[in-house]
Chain A
Amino acid sequence: MTVSSPSPAPSGQPELLRMTGITKGFPGVQAISRGDLTVLSGEIHALVGENGAGKSTLIKVVTGAHTPDRGRVEVGGREIKNSNPNAAYRAGVGVIYQELSLVPALSVRANLFLGRERGRFGGLDATAERAAAIEQFSRLGVDIDPDQPVGELSIARQQLVEIARALLANSRLLIMDEPTAALTPREVGKLFGILASLRSAGHGILFISHRLDEVFQIADRITVMRDGATIGTWPAADLTRGDLIKQMVGRPLEQEFPKVAAQIGEELLTVKNLTGGRVDGVSFSLRRGEVLGLAGLVGAGRTDVARLIFGADPLVSGRIYRNGLPVTISSPRDAIEQGICLLTEDRQGQGLILGLSALENLSLPNLRQFSRRGWLDQSAELSRFKQFVSSLKIRLSSPRQLAGHLSGGNQQKLLIARWLENDAQVIIFDEPTRGIDVGAKYEMYLLINELAARGKAIIVISSELPEILGISDRILVMHEGRVSGEITDLTTATQAQIMELAVG
Chain B
Amino acid sequence: MSKNKPGGSFNLSMARLLSQYGMLGVLLLLGVFFSLVTIRDQQPTGKAAGTSLAEQIESLVSDRSPEQWPTILILAPGGDDASDFVAALSRQLSDSDITIGATLTGDPLTIREGLQKLSESGTLPGADLMIATQHGFAPIVRNVITEMPIFADAPIQTPQSYRWPTFLLASNLLNVANQIAVIAILAVGMTMVIITAGIDLSVGSLIALSAVAVAGLIGRLGGEGASMGAMVTCGFGAILFTGLIGAFSGLVITRFRVPPFIATLGMMQVASGLAYILSKGRPFYQVPASFVALGRGVDPLLGIPYAVMLMLVLYAAAHLMMSRTALGRYIYAIGGNQEAARLAGVRVKGVLLLVYCLNGMLAGLGGVVMASQLKSGAPTYGLMYELYVIAAVVVGGTSLSGGEGKILGTLIGAFIIAVIQNGMNLTNVESYTQKVVLGLVILGAVLLDRLKQRGMQKRQA
Contact = CB atoms under 8 A, between A and B. Distances in A.
A28 B403 contact: no
Nearest to A418: B344
A353 interface: yes
Q: How large is the interface on B (under 10, 10 to 19, 20 to 34, 35 or more residues)?
A: 35 or more
Interface in A28-66: 28-31, 52, 54, 57, 66
Interface stretch (B49-57, B95-103, B331-339): B331-339
A351 interface: yes
A333 B332 CA distance: 18
B255 interface: no
A30 B333 contact: no
A255 interface: no
A336 interface: yes
B20 to A, nearest CB: 12
B347 interface: yes
A397 B4 contact: yes
Contacts of A404: 460
Nearest to A396: B4
Majority SS at the chain A contact face? mixed
B461 A26 contact: yes
A407 B344 contact: no
Contact of A354 (B1, B336, B343): B336
Contacts, number: 115
Interface stretch (B106-114, B170-178, B322-330, B439-447): B322-330
A405 interface: yes
Given A332-B344, A351-B343, A29 B3 contact: yes
Contacts of A350: 337, 339-340, 343
Given A378-B324, A397-B9, A364 B341 contact: yes
B339 A349 contact: yes
Contact of A333 (B4, B333, B340, B347): B347
B252 to A, nearest CB: 20
A396 to B, nearest CB: 9
A360 B332 contact: yes
Nearest to B9: A397
Contacts of B345: 332-333, 335-336, 364-365
Most buried by A among B3, B4, B330, B340: B340
A332 B11 CA distance: 39
A101 B4 CA distance: 31
Most buried by A among B5, B12, B330, B337: B337
Nearest to B350: A333
A431 B5 CA distance: 32
Most buried by B among A312, A352, A353, A374: A353
Contact of B4 (A28, A310, A335, A375): A28
Contacts of B332: 353, 355-356, 360
A29 B8 contact: yes
Nearest to A367: B326
Interface string A369-391: 01100111010000000000000
Majority SS at the chain B contact face? helix
Interface residues of A, number: 46
A20 to B, nearest CB: 22
Most buried by A among B329, B340, B343: B343
Contact of A353 (B1, B2, B341): B341
Given A352-B337, A364-B329, A397-B9, A29 B343 contact: no
Contacts of B200: none
Interface in A309-357: 310, 312, 331-333, 335-336, 342, 344, 349-356
B459 interface: yes
Contacts of B330: 364, 367
Interface string B339-370: 11111111100000000000000000000000
Given A333-B345, A333-B347, A351-B340, A364 B458 contact: no
B300 interface: no
Contact of A349 (B1, B337, B347): B337
B7 interface: yes
B386 interface: no
Contacts of A371: 325-326
Given A353-B403, A360-B329, A28 B337 contact: no
Given A349-B340, A356-B332, 6 more contacts: A66-B461, A310-B343, A349-B337, A350-B340, A353-B340, A367-B330
Interface of A: 26-31, 52, 54, 57, 66, 227-228, 310, 312, 331-333, 335-336, 342, 344, 349-356, 360, 363-365, 367-368, 370-371, 374-376, 378, 397, 404-405, 407, 418
9 contacts: A27-B7, A28-B10, A29-B8, A333-B345, A352-B337, A353-B332, A353-B336, A354-B336, A364-B329
